[in-house]
Amino acid sequence: MKNKSQGVLLAWQNKFFLFLVSFFSSPFLSAQCETLSLLGFEKSQEKIFKISSEVLEFFNSGNSENLVSFFHPRLKITRGKLDSFYQLEKFRLGLPLKTFLYRGWKVSSKEEIAQDILCEKDGVTLLSHYGYSHQFNFWVDLFGEKEKRVLFFSVVPVDGDYVIGLFQVVKWSHMKKGYEEWVKEALEEKSKELAYLKLDIAKKLTLGDPFFKIEATKEIESLQKKIFLEKDYFKIYQKKLKTLELKSVKSIFNQNGIGLKFSYLPFDKSKKIVNLEKDCSAIKTSLGAMIQNLSGIRCELDSDGSFSSSEESFFLDF
State the alpha helices, DSSP H only, in 110-208. 179-188, 192-204
According to the model, what pLDDT value does residue 6 have? 44
C-alpha–C-alpha distance, residues 8 and 185, integer Å: 57
Tell me whether the omega of the peptide bond preceding residue 210 falls within 30 degrees of 0, making it cis.
yes
C-alpha–C-alpha distance, residues 59 and 143, integer Å: 10
Q: How many CA atoms lie less than 13 Å away from 255 in the CB half-sphere?
A: 6
Q: Residues near 182 by Cβ (< 8 Å), separated by ≥ 6?
A: 174, 198, 199, 201, 202, 205
In the chain, domain spans: 27-171, 179-227, 232-317
According to the model, what pLDDT value does residue 191 have? 97
In tens, the pLDDT along 10-21 reads 444 444 333 333
Residue 67: phi, psi to the nearest 5? Answer: -70, -35
C-alpha–C-alpha distance, residues 79 and 68, integer Å: 6
C-alpha–C-alpha distance, residues 234 and 72, integer Å: 43
Running DSSP on this structure, what letter comes out for residue 74?
G
**Cβ atoms 246, 264 nearer than 8 A:** yes
The neighbour count for residue 91, using CB atoms within 10 Å, is 11
C-alpha–C-alpha distance, residues 302 and 13, integer Å: 45
According to the model, what pLDDT value does residue 26 have? 40
- Ranges of the chain whose pLDDT falls below 50: 1-30
What residues are paired with 174 via a beta bridge?
A: 177
pTM over 0.75: yes
CATH topology of domain 27-171: Nuclear Transport Factor 2; Chain: A, (3.10.450)
**Cβ atoms 155, 165 nearer than 8 A:** yes
C-alpha–C-alpha distance, residues 267 and 272, integer Å: 11
In tens, the pLDDT along 199-254 reads 999 999 999 988 999 999 999 999 999 999 999 999 999 999 988 999 999 999 99
